[in-house]
Amino acid sequence: MDLKAYFKRVNMADPGPPSLSALRELHRHHVFSVPAENLDIHSGEKIILETSWIYEKIVVRNRGGLCYESNGLFLWVLEELGYKPKVLSARVRNKICGLYGPKFDHMVMVVELEGRKWLCDVGFGEGIIYPIPLEDGWEEEQENGVFRLRVERETWYLERKDGDLWRSLFKFTLEECMFEDFKEMCEYHQTSPSSIFFCKSLCSLQFLGGRLTYMGHRLITTEFIRGGGCVKTTRDLAEDEIPDLLRDRFGIVLKKKLIPKDEDIIPPN
């Protein structure tokens, strides 16, 4: 595995020794270059949580991945560059039923720099572009929306502003985990009808001021509004359009035929 190849993949030069400015640039370039996608699940491939396998997929084959894959690769990059990231387990809030997923539902990281702890997450489709400081009540407008952190007892919540309201994206604690701890939930997301990744074929990539998302037989363009909120436009896709769309808009060419899927998610018990 080669850091130079990773830098080329995310369209940036070597950022140099650990610093907050370097971490911000790494985070931003990764988010704008590596899609959040689950296309393996819907094209007969298996997702494997091994760093060398993830590197081959994302860096060599120009793919994206689930949060475990994208954040797993970012974890390796940070460690190689001399940062000391800590892996944390997060639980994503289900938009349909309002419930949070189980432990190890989502992977995030914390990096300590310049006397503060910074939340890093390059694997959440509508998440942050830059690391944000782990401070209760911290509110920040980034290029793709307004975010805040709040804490209740020992549980932290990352929230996103939608108009005048705040919507919780996920919650987490500061209990440190290992990358290997997420293998069981990675299998769950590949097989469970309660997981969006099993129920819907999707690929989403941030761009400056918005996000482009393929889902099932739809292409969704999201444009963000300053101060919170967004405007979405949707275009229906014929099945034979999808491979060219993935290649031209996301840079993805699959090894096997994709079976588009957009089924309702069954709420967990």
**Domain harbouring 138, CATH code:** 3.30.2140.20
Residue 259 covered by a domain: no
Strands 218-224 and 155-162: unpaired
Residue 262 covered by a domain: no
Quickly list H helices, 127-231. Answer: 183-191, 196-199
Mean pLDDT across 116-129: 95
Q: Give 93's contacts (C-beta < 8 A, 6+ positions apart).
A: 99, 100, 167, 168, 169, 170, 171
What pLDDT was estimated at residue 163?
86
Cβ(146)–Cβ(128) below 8 Å: no
Q: Residue written as tokens 């980034």?
A: 142
Return the SS3 of 114.
Answer: coil
- pTM comes to 0.95
Q: What range does the domain containing 29 cover?
A: 3-250
Residue 258 covered by a domain: no
pLDDT digits 0-9 by tens, 196-212:
999 999 999 999 889 99
Instruction: List beta partners, residue 220.
Output: 213, 234
Q: How many domains does the chain have?
A: 1
**Distance between CA atoms of residues 223 and 97, nearest Å:** 25
Q: Give 166's contacts (C-beta < 8 A, 6+ positions apart).
A: 148, 159, 160
Higher pLDDT, 94 or 159: 159
50 pLDDT band (50/70/90 cuts)?
very high
**Distance between CA atoms of residues 208 and 108, nearest Å:** 22
| Residue 181 scores a pLDDT above 90 | yes
Instruction: List beta partners, residue 87.
Output: 109, 177
CA dihedral sign of residues 133, 143, 98, 40:
negative
E-strand ranges in 29-154 read: 36-37, 86-92, 106-113, 116-120, 132-133, 139-142, 145-152
Of 5, 67, 42, the closest CA to residue 255 belongs to 42
| Residue 252 scores a pLDDT above 90 | yes
Residue 255 covered by a domain: no
In the DSSP assignment, the letter for residue 59 is I
Q: Give 46's contacts (C-beta < 8 A, 6+ positions apart).
A: 40, 190
- In terms of Cβ atoms closer than 10 Å to its own Cβ (0-12, 13-18, 19+), residue 212 is middle
Residue 263 covered by a domain: no
What pLDDT was estimated at residue 92?
95
What pLDDT was estimated at residue 266?
86
Residue 257 covered by a domain: no
95 pLDDT band (50/70/90 cuts)?
confident
Residue 136 covered by a domain: yes
**Distance between CA atoms of residues 58 and 79, nearest Å:** 18
What pLDDT was estimated at residue 267?
80
Mean pLDDT across 248-253: 96
Neighbours of 17 (CB within 10 A): 9
Q: Give 94's contacts (C-beta < 8 A, 6+ positions apart).
A: 100, 101, 265, 267, 268
- Catalytic residue numbers read 67, 106, 121
125 pLDDT band (50/70/90 cuts)?
confident
Residue 265 covered by a domain: no
